[in-house]
Amino acid sequence: MKSTTRLLTALTKSQYSRTLRYGMIALAGFILASCSQQVKPPVKDAESVSVEKPKADPVASDAQQTGETSTVPAPQWETPEEWAALMYRTLTISQLKEQDSSGSVKQTKIRRPLTVGSVLGTDAQKTDSKPEKSLFPQYYQLVANGTIDDLNAALNKAEQIPAAGEQAEAYCGIAWALLAEEAFLRAKPYLVQGEKLLPQAQDSEGHEQRLHLYAKAFARSGDSNKAVEVAQQIANLDLREETIISISGQIAKTGDVEQALGFVETIKNRKSQSQALQQITLILAKSNACNQACTITGQITDEETRFKALEGIALELAKAGRGSQALEVVQQINFLHRRPWFLRSLAILLIETGYFEQALEIAPLIDGSRDQSTYLMEVAIALAETGESKQAQEVVQQIPMLDSRRIAVAKVASGLLKAGQVNGALKIAQQIEYDEMKESILYRIASELAAQGERVLSLTALKEATTSTQRLGRPMPFSRTIPLLAYQWVASEPTSEEKPEFVRNLKPAFTPEEKQLAESLLQAAQQKK
């Protein structure tokens, strides 16, 4: 018995594999039987183990004589729980890591998000998109959407606020609502009244932000001197500089472009000057004064800021249906690597803002089938991500380059999945010709379908995904396939009117189709061991 114990202790997995390869079937079978739930009773006479020779196995003898390799019969399993346990016992740690085709651990690739802010360089200038609405919505809405009686009601309400800071916010909200209607003379008294309250609230939270908004409001009303005076009270240097930059844009909104350009000249920092000019060009472009905006871009000294200004002008031209002029502006972007990137951004922005026809009108104006294909692919992806499956597929068919068209099919499937149209994503994914892309998207679709309780469709996606993996000759991603096949999402009993929560449990049994896939996965795991 002691020799048997030592033998079992010393026999590692690698030694066990070598034992199989050398045909020691009888000994391996004995060890498996000893390790799995003690099916055979232990031998009482330890000495007999060391003396007795194992009986010859006729099957093993035949295999050794013919030179054929025999394998140990796979342990039997019945339930998904038994199958999952067997799979995890069979697999090594390296097999449970998701790997790419080179054998290294797979790294998730994240597509760079493209937003209006990232394209036009306004992500860092959130305060320029009318934050006053979110800071004091009740007063803004009362005046902006109401009557004179509503305005009087808002004023009465503001006068009863005890805290100076909150009262200043209320007056600022009322003033901004009037400024939005270009009622500058009516807005000015409330700005003056509210500004007088600011010193009383300088120690309260949000004081610097209130100064920022009042400075912009005074500039919007046409009083740039008062705007600068208020801005200079801001202690935070970054916010103060941002406020000074925004003042020029607010002056331009009044229609006095010359005054706005004159104010820019008073800004000492050259980078801030460029950013202020960029704001003026965007305001002019949105006012359909694109030619004047293009002229002003020549005064921007910072090249990166200049190109962002040109991109903003091109976007406004495209939205207005002036695609050829938009592309003429794009040609002024000297950073050549930015042009195709901006064309992709332009496609996304036009679709997201509802300018589908304008997006398609630009495509034939683009020189070169490669750039055209890139642009149309982004149009198709943007449509898919908004749930427009039919239109996305129609755009894919317009892509001139075959390779780009095939890639676009996979991108559209991914976009539909992102939009929550999982069934539609599955239909498109089944048309993907490149297994490298098909494999990845189908595993994601299978996971999403399983989470929605679509057991049959999830199995369909999983089977096609594993088939793609096998065709590519890649290691099977067992870390994905085992949970997808063995588990199911079950809705818990709702305790109230709230939606029931979904929990993941082991399946009680496999369907015949699931069992067939489970068998093939087990065989793959054993072959790679």
Mean pLDDT (the chain) is 76
Q: What is the pLDDT of residue 319?
A: 80
Answer whether residue 275 is part of any domain: no
Specify the DSSP element, H or E, that contains 502.
strand 502-506
Q: Please give the C-alpha separations between residue 487 and each of 79, 384, 478, 506, 512, in angstroms, as whole numbers.
A: 11, 30, 14, 4, 16
- Split at pLDDT 50, 70, 90, the class of 286 is confident
Tell me if 483 is assigned to some domain: yes
pTM of the model: 0.56
Closest CA to 311 of 326, 325, 299: 326
Which tens digits make up the pLDDT trace of 237-283?
A: 999 999 999 999 999 998 899 999 999 999 999 999 999 999 999 99
- State the average pLDDT over residues 456-462: 93
Name the 3-class secondary structure at 274: helix
Summarize pLDDT for 430-444 with one digit per residue, the tens. Answer: 999 999 999 999 999
Choice between 160 and 18, residue whose per-residue pLDDT is larger: 160
Surface-to-core class of residue 452, CB atoms within 10 Å of its CB (0-12 exposed, 13-18 middle, 19+ buried): middle
Strand partners for 99 = 105
- pLDDT confidence of residue 124: 35
End position of a domain, from candidates 244, 267, 290? 267
Q: Is residue 272 part of a domain?
A: no
Question: Which domain CATH number covers 177?
Answer: 1.25.40.10
Q: What is the pLDDT of residue 17?
A: 41
By the 8 A CB rule, do 57 and 26 touch? Answer: yes
Q: What number is the average pLDDT over the span 98-117?
A: 38
The arithmetic mean of pLDDT across residues 311-316, rounded, is 84
Is residue 125 one of the residues assigned to a domain?
no
Buried b / exposed e over 211-232, threshold 16 CB at 10 Å, is bbbbbbbbbbbbbbebbbebbe
Contacts of residue 519, defined as CB under 8 A and 6 or more positions apart, other chains included, come to none
319 in any annotated domain: no
Report yes or no on 161 lying in a domain: yes
Q: Say which range, 130-134, 387-391, 457-461, 514-518, has the weakest mean pLDDT.
A: 130-134
- pLDDT the model gives residue 115: 32
Q: Which helix (H) or strand (E) holds 268?
A: none
**Per-residue pLDDT tens for 133-180?**
444 555 555 555 556 777 777 788 888 888 898 889 888 888 888 888
Domain of residue 189: give its range: 133-267
pLDDT tier at 499, thresholds 50, 70, 90: low
CA atoms of 365 and 467, how far apart (whole Å):
41
Structural domains of the chain, count? 2
Domain stop point among 216, 234, 267: 267
Q: Is the pLDDT of residue 52 over 90?
A: no
Domain stop point among 239, 267, 295: 267
| Residue 471 CB neighbours (<10 A) | 11
Higher-confidence position of 361 and 244: 244
In a domain, 399, yes or no: no
Q: Is residue 228 part of a domain?
A: yes
Question: What is the pLDDT at residue 105?
Answer: 38
